Structure 1
Amino acid sequence: MINGVDTEALRQTVDAVRDKPELARVTFGIQSEWSGGAHQQATTTAPLQNGEVMASRTAKFVFESDEPTALLGTDKAANPGEYILQALAGCYAVTYASLAATQGIELSSLAFELQIDFDLQGFLGLDESVRPGAQEIRVDVRAQSPNATTKQLQELTELVQQRSPIRDTLANPVKVTTSLVTDDAR
């Protein structure tokens, strides 16, 4: 066990996926309900692995999002941009811990400071040259290890950027399909 990662279980997972690549296909989902204004609540659905429900995941988790009052919300929950940062931080944490463990690097501390910039002119339709999405995401990583040099931690940071699924999702185009589902056809 290194960094809270069961290295034997990680090795077994790598071997299983190497033998059966279809096990690498996982799908996560949520069901979301708008509750007025900028507020919504979502609940996780059963994750899938190769099209089959993951029996090991029995818990459901609830998320809420809102906006600060200055952005027409009621400030009841984190906003969607903050959830993007949380997703990236969470993915970086598991990727750092796992990759470090496979390299025998013990992490004594790991912390992230993240920021995301938006220009609301795109969202508000005020300037068509401004995209409504994020302009930039910045991440500062503070990693310490009793058995790794600064150079090794820098190499680990570069590898994390290459392997993090959420960073890759944010840094590269992803097909997003949105469909209106109605109860009645008009």
Structure 2
Amino acid sequence: MTTATVNKPAKVAINGVDVPTFVATLGVVGQSPDIAKFTFRANGEWLSGTHSRTSFSGFFGAMSEMEHKDTYSIDGDHPQVLCGGDNGATPVEMLLAGLSACITAGIGNIASIRQVKLHSVETSIEGDINLNGILGLDKTVRNGFSGVRATFKIKGDASDEVLEQIVHQSVARSAVFDVLTNGVPVTVAAIAN
């Protein structure tokens, strides 16, 4: 009887993800878990009416202060029907965008680790809100979404079952999904001059 050795092919970069570096990062974090502790920051300013701008320039991660390659910003506003100037997405739309972006990023990473070539990922996310809550007209109505529905259409070089597993694994690992479904303590300080 002879014993044959089966060599798995090395994982390669795919879907725009540097898989060898990602795998190496997982190994380093596994050896030094404190590297995985991050603090992200957003700095906002009021512009006028319901219009504001939030900027993102730096964060703490991998045990040091880091800077994005550019400072990013998002304008937020309310539409005219809600007495705003419609100069940006509403804050609740930004929340939906965060959920979409987080799960989509996970899909890209997970498919790449599994060496599944993606052709497309399309997202549709809706959130239902009754404004009687935030307008203070009905104290029995919550201020936020009463429900959120997300649909991910995914096409790639794998069976439908594997593609669906990739989406479900991404949802299970999504930080934004976790915050939305499990809540998180939030502290607010007001400083008036």
* Alignment TM-score, normalising by the size of structure 1: 0.92
Deviation at 1:181, TM superposition (A): 2.1
Count of residues paired in the alignment: 181
1:103: which partner in 2?
114
Gaps of 5+ in 2: 1-12
Structure 1 residues without counterparts, runs of 5 or longer: none
Cα deviation 1:89-141 (Å, max 9, x = unaligned)? 11112100101111121111111011111111110111111110111111111
Paired-residue identity, %: 28
In the alignment, the residues of structure 2 paired with residue 32 and residue 149 of structure 1 have an alpha-carbon distance, to the nearest angstrom, of 44
Q: CA shift at 1:59, angstroms? A: 1.5
Counterparts of 1:75-94 in structure 2, within 5 Å, are 75-94=86-105
Instruction: Please give the per-residue CA displacement for 1:4-62, whole angstroms capped at 9, x wherever unaligned.
Output: 1110110111111111111111111111111221100111131111552125x332111
After TM superposition, list the pairs within 5 Å mapping 1:1-186 onto structure 2: 1-49=13-61, 52-54=64-66, 57-146=68-157, 148-183=158-193
Give the TM-score normalised by structure 2.
Answer: 0.89
Q: Of the two, which has the highest radius of gyration?
A: 2
2:78–2:85 contact (8 Å) kept in structure 1: yes
- 3-state secondary structure, aligned to 2:148: strand
Q: CA RMSD in A?
A: 1.3
- C-alpha contact (below 8 Å) 1:34/1:41 kept by paired residues: yes
Runs of 4 or more above 4 Å deviation = none
